[in-house]
Homo-oligomer: A and B are copies of this chain.
Amino acid sequence: MDEFAVETLAEPSLSDPVLIEGLPGVGHVGKLAAEHLLEEFESEPIRRLYSEHFPPQVNVEDGRAKLACAELHAVEADDQDLLVLTGDHQPQESTGHYRLTDRVLDIATELGVDRVFALGGVPTGELIDEYDVIGAATDDGVIDELETAGVEFREDQPAGGIVGVSGLLLGLGERRDLDAACLMGETSGYLVDPKSARAVLEVLEAAIGFEVEFDSLEERADEMEEVVQKIQQMEGGQQATDDNLRYIG
């Protein structure tokens, strides 16, 4: 294997597809959101990307081993074609992040992409009632558009910038003159957070123009709720806090 190996799984014709990224990150918000799109719409994996920059690892499901990879899926979201990037791993090391993101953008632009949405979570450190979605973008026009769709752009948030593939899709995307934005659902950071994923998708619905059911995400949210309540009971009725919940990043 070279530095990258790209498998072509299908060659559908896509009409002005929008790239949506949902690799693992804070609260697994981006991953949950991206996978929800695959489940709710017609979707098909079309490219698989292996790389020595991923961890040296196979995942195992029902005994079948699957080499660490990222996948691009063609998704029909009502009238809008999407190209959805999913996977179980971020690259290792700085150079791996840069090179993988560059390769993803090579493939995406070949397939006609000129708009990119990176999905993720922004940690607040406390459990959340109202799920705001914070944004960052490469272009003031995109910022205006997304503000209309309900995204908040704040003076100094996210404070630590955006790291990993999500961040580089914006940074390297801008250098290719792509319109790129990152949508970050607020999330405690302590739990896998389907409610934050829903908040991100609701913004995406408005921004791109499609409608999606949320029943299955709500079910997962209810399951998480039960987990939190059990933890709170074990802790003697206290509020779930930094001290008794594990950070998911």
Point out residues on A near B: beta carbons under 8 Å.
1, 5, 50, 52-68, 92-99, 101-102, 135-138, 140, 143, 153-158, 161-165, 167-168, 170-172, 174-175, 180, 182
Q: How far is the CB of A163 from chain B (nearest CB, A)?
A: 5
Question: In the assembled complex, which residues on chain B have CB atoms less than 8 Å from the CB atom of A67?
Answer: 168, 170-172, 174-175
Q: In the docked arrangement, what's the CA distance between A54 and B97, Å?
A: 11
Task: Identify A93's interface contact among B50, B61, B94, B157, CB under 8 A.
Answer: B94
Taking chain A's interface residues, is the majority helix, strand, or loop, or is none over half, making it mixed? mixed
Minimal Cβ-Cβ distance residue in B for A95: B52
Sorted from nearest, which 10 A-B pairs have the closest CB atoms?
A67-B171, A63-B153, A56-B97, A52-B98, A65-B170, A58-B167, A60-B136, A59-B161, A58-B171, A65-B136
A1-B175, A65-B162, A65-B171 known; A136 and B99 CB under 8 Å? no
